[in-house]
A and B are shown apart, each in its own frame.
Chain A
Amino acid sequence: MSDDPMMVAVAAGVLSADDAHRALLNSVAETARAIFGAKAASIFLYDERTDELVFEAVAGSGADTLIGRRLPSSAGIAGWVLVTRQPLVIEDVRADPRFAQDVAEDTGYVPKGIMAVPLLHQERSLGVLEVLDRPANAKFTLAEMDLLGLFANQAAIALDLTQRSRRAREALEGGDPAYAAVATVARRLDEMGADSAAVRRLLEALADVLGPADGDAESAAERPMRRRRRA
Chain B
Amino acid sequence: MSDAADDAPEELPAWSLTADQAAKLRDPAWPSRFTREWAWGGSTGKGVRVAIVDSGVDPDHPLVGQVQQAVTIGDPDKVEVLADTEGDLCGHGTACAGIVRSIAPDCEIVSVRVLGAGYTGSGPVLMAGLEWAVDEKFDLINMSLSTTKRQFSEFLHELADDAYFNNTMIVASAHNMPVESYPWRFSSVLSVGSHDQQGPLTFFYNPDPPVEFFAPGLDLDVPWIGGSTLRCSGNSFATPHMTGICALILGKHPELTPFQLKSVLHGTATNVEEAAP
Residues of A within 8 A of B (CB): 72, 74, 79-80, 82-92, 95-98, 117-118, 120, 123, 125, 139-142, 145, 149-150, 152-153, 222-228, 230
Cβ 8 A contact of B155, one of A91, A125, A224: A224
A91-B219, A145-B233, A228-B131 given; A83·B79 CB < 8 A: no
Residues of B within 8 A of A (CB): 79, 90-92, 115, 117-121, 124, 127, 131, 135, 145-155, 158-159, 162, 173, 175-179, 181, 194-196, 217-219, 224-226, 228-236
* Chain B contacts for A149, CB-based, 8 A: 176-178
Give me 7 other A-B pairs in contact (C-beta within 8 A), A97-B90, A150-B178 excluded.
Answer: A85-B147, A86-B173, A92-B231, A96-B91, A97-B225, A142-B233, A227-B158
CB-nearest residue of chain A to B124: A225
Cβ 8 A contact of B119, one of A83, A117, A150, A222: A83
CB–CB A142/B228 < 8 A = no
Compute how far the CA of A142 lies from the CA of B162 in the bound complex, rounded to whole angstroms.
34
CB-nearest residue of chain B to A219: B151
Identify whether the interface residues of B are mostly helix, strand, loop, or mixed: mixed
* Chain B contacts for A225, CB-based, 8 A: 124, 127, 151-152, 154-155
CB–CB A120/B176 < 8 A = no
Compute how far the CA of A224 lies from the CA of B179 in the bound complex, rounded to whole angstroms.
20
Cβ 8 A contact of A97, one of B91, B179, B229: B91
Cross-chain pairs A/B with CB under 8 angstroms, 20 sampled: A79-B118, A83-B115, A83-B120, A85-B147, A85-B148, A86-B145, A88-B232, A96-B91, A98-B90, A118-B177, A120-B179, A123-B148, A142-B194, A142-B233, A145-B194, A145-B234, A222-B151, A227-B131, A227-B158, A228-B131
Compute how far the CA of A14 lies from the CA of B89 in the bound complex, rounded to whole angstroms.
42
Cβ 8 A contact of B230, one of A90, A117, A125: A90
B68 to chain A, nearest CB (A): 21
A142-B196, A224-B151, A230-B135 given; A84·B119 CB < 8 A: yes
Interface Cβ pair total, 8 Å cutoff: 124
* Chain B contacts for A80, CB-based, 8 A: 90, 92, 119
* Chain B contacts for A74, CB-based, 8 A: 117-120
Cβ 8 A contact of A145, one of B115, B117, B145, B176: B176
* Chain B contacts for A88, CB-based, 8 A: 232-234
CB–CB B226/A89 < 8 A = no
CB–CB B115/A86 < 8 A = no
CB-nearest residue of chain A to B132: A230
Compute how far the CA of A125 lies from the CA of B123 in the bound complex, rounded to whole angstroms.
13
* Chain B contacts for A89, CB-based, 8 A: 232-234
